[in-house]
């Protein structure tokens, strides 16, 4: 998150060393602006691309799914057009899709960077509930 302010500082020092007029306010606002954009980007990635499994819920981005609704984790085929958890139109790039069968016999797509770890976490929670 410090690349923007570092870039602005290098620009400021470059102007200072060149001997010309130094635009301190401009470089300060460039540094603050780049920092704000980077902070917003990092917040959005953490908020919307997070996966968490608890004893009662599977969190995918901003969506929660009760673990009680999951009936199968293994040997589930995802039909074309299956709903993606978390509100996206498709599974995020560089994330593995994990099809889940729900109690109403629909199939949804969960996702994680490590699909096998998500499957194992869900299996563990489902085993503990039975």
Predicted local distance difference test score (pLDDT) of residue 49: 83
pLDDT per 10-residue tile (average), the chain, 130 residues: 87 90 91 92 83 92 91 91 88 92 94 93 85
What span, in angstroms and rounded, lies between the C-alpha atoms of 21 and 34?
Answer: 23
Give the start-to-end residue ranges of the domains of the chain: 3-48, 51-129
Predicted local distance difference test score (pLDDT) of residue 50: 86
Burial 50-85, CB ≥16 within 10 A → b, else e: ebebeeebbebbeeebebeebeebeebebeeebebb
Predicted local distance difference test score (pLDDT) of residue 1: 67
Contact present, 40 and 52 (Cβ < 8 Å): no
Predicted local distance difference test score (pLDDT) of residue 67: 92
Contact present, 51 and 60 (Cβ < 8 Å): yes
Of 117, 119, 121, nearest to 74 by C-alpha is 119
Question: Residues with Cβ < 8 Å from 112, sequence gap 6 or more?
Answer: 51, 95, 96, 98, 118
Report pTM. 0.70
Predicted local distance difference test score (pLDDT) of residue 130: 63
Predicted local distance difference test score (pLDDT) of residue 65: 93
Predicted local distance difference test score (pLDDT) of residue 12: 92
């Amino acid at each position: 998150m410090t690349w923007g302010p570092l870039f602005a500082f290098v620009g400021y020092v470059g102007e200072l060393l060149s001997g010309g007029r130094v635009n301190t306010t401009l470089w300060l606002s460039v540094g603050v602006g780049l920092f704000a954009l980077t902070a917003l980007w990092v917040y959005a990635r953490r908020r919307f691309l997070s996966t968490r499994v608890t004893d009662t819920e599977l969190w995918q981005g901003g969506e929660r799914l009760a673990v009680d609704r999951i009936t199968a984790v293994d040997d589930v085929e995802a039909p074309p057009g299956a709903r993606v958890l978390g509100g996206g139109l498709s599974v995020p790039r560089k994330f593995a899709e994990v099809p889940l069968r729900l109690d109403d016999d629909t199939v949804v797509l969960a996702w994680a960077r490590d699909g096998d770890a998500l499957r194992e976490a869900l299996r563990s929670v489902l085993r503990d509930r039975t």
